Structure 1
């Protein structure tokens, strides 16, 4: 009898993070951007491509959708999913700070929860500006600071003393929440030469299934972003078990039946070229 193959981190990311977290936010971001039939859109740091798949029907067959990510595993999962209606999606492996894509090529660039991971955020914003057509819009989401996310704060507190065994730094587990200051976000977009910058706060309630495996699912999916997490499977399993045990009470306090329910707080920025 053949045993089922374990999911890759990118497959876990698509199975777990996208329906629970990134799918609902993607719909809101695309609505905020407002792409129209025939326009060109870039999903920057696309992961498994939920923004691209959400936008493709709105720009239609006459439009263009490009999705770029640094991680080939993410793109492999994205490309294997059923294509949406509307524009065909071009999947591109590349660095957000130096994409190699043409100047003035997009009406819209959307970046969902990616900017905080870029090693040079101003350079990435300048690259986005370069790729936008005159009057084109950058729309991005970043999470607010970790102190507004008690479930993730508790996980980070449990993770940090155990990271040495995995060869992962504290910054790598807290970076998703590292650009949650409105003034810092405005400053980097301004430094990149973007204009008409608007930044607002949004909160959505997340409903995450499988509460008994919440920590395992989160950490395994995050390994798609930080592959070093799972480089040593035995060490990673010990890490998962220990973090799960230490955060059991916090997760239980957010349990509602067969769901873990908690708010996530984001900053949504729009800026024009």
Structure 2
């Protein structure tokens, strides 16, 4: 089951899921900028010179942290999606900053033992097939006393914008699987007790899990692009013909009316802000 789940995630993010994120890079950067900015402040609050961004995607948060840290800090981003890593590498080349991007699965990648001061992630750690193994592997790459900071989604019912398309598309796309909070996916770490159990089992200590909301906004002109590409509905729409796709989009778009405010779309991102410390041995047994 674990091997199958890992393979499914790799196929998703190196296929239609990764393509959608690359195509929507600018939109997603704008949507999640308040979260990126706050996460950057968490990293900057630490004495950080070696940092790792897990599930870095197209590199927005990695580059934001690198810009604020400056030289001689070294920022590295890792992602299972080769498509997104390529996009991140192109952005890094244009920026001229000291940033490296690695195409790898953070669950198993042999990170340098005890090197990092801080590991951080913006919505990038909910997709591990074996989260205890993954967070254990990440902990080995952090110095003793080093910190983990990440943000992940709270429950689907706390995030109506993120689930609006699925609720509206039930009769159109009945094959969509239900969300499972114990499986890899957007809401895979939506239960705080599960987060605490996973981090504790993987050796992290001083675990803090705080609920907080972020106010997000993007142009209303980008709404159709968003719902046609992102999430389970967006991925399902890529498998149907053009006429059928347009028919479904027209049918579900009104579900987003509560979030439209003139020329803008506004929504609340209900998140968990998580931090932990590595108090144990950083080398591998």
Q: Does the TM-score normalized on the shorter chain lie above 0.5?
A: yes
- Tell me by how many angstroms 1:11 deviates: 3.0
Instruction: Give the equivalent residue in structure 2 for 1:246.
Output: 251
Instruction: Give the equivalent residue in structure 2 for 1:255.
Output: 260
How is 1:1-273 mapped onto 2 (pairs within 5 angstroms)?
A: 8-21=19-32, 23-34=33-44, 39-81=49-91, 88-159=98-169, 169-171=177-179, 175-211=185-221, 213-222=222-231, 229=236, 232=239, 235=240, 237=242, 240-273=245-278
Gapped regions of structure 2 (runs ≥ 5): 1-18, 279-285
So what's the TM-score if we normalise by structure 1? 0.83
- Tell me by how many angstroms 1:121 deviates: 1.3
Contact persistence 1:122–1:189 (CA under 8 A)? yes
Instruction: Work out the number of aligned pairs and report it.
Output: 258
Q: Which runs of 4+ in 1 moved over 6 A?
A: none
Q: Which 10-residue stretch deviates more, 52-61 or 183-192?
A: 52-61
Listed one character per residue, the Cα deviations across residues 60-90 of structure 1 (whole Å, up to 9, x for unaligned) are: 2211111000111101111112558785111
Contact persistence 1:216–1:240 (CA under 8 A)? no
Relative to structure 1, is the Cα distance of residues 160 and 121 closer, same or farther in structure 2, using a 3 angstrom cutoff? Answer: farther
Instruction: Give the equivalent residue in structure 2 for 1:3.
Output: none
Listed one character per residue, the Cα deviations across residues 99-139 of structure 1 (whole Å, up to 9, x for unaligned) are: 22211110000011122111111111111111111111010
So what's the TM-score if we normalise by structure 2? 0.80
Task: Describe the SS at the equivalent of 1:104.
Answer: coil
Listed one character per residue, the Cα deviations across residues 34-54 of structure 1 (whole Å, up to 9, x for unaligned) are: 266761000101001111111
Listed one character per residue, the Cα deviations across residues 152-208 of structure 1 (whole Å, up to 9, x for unaligned) are: 22212244565577xx74459993123211111111111111011111111111112
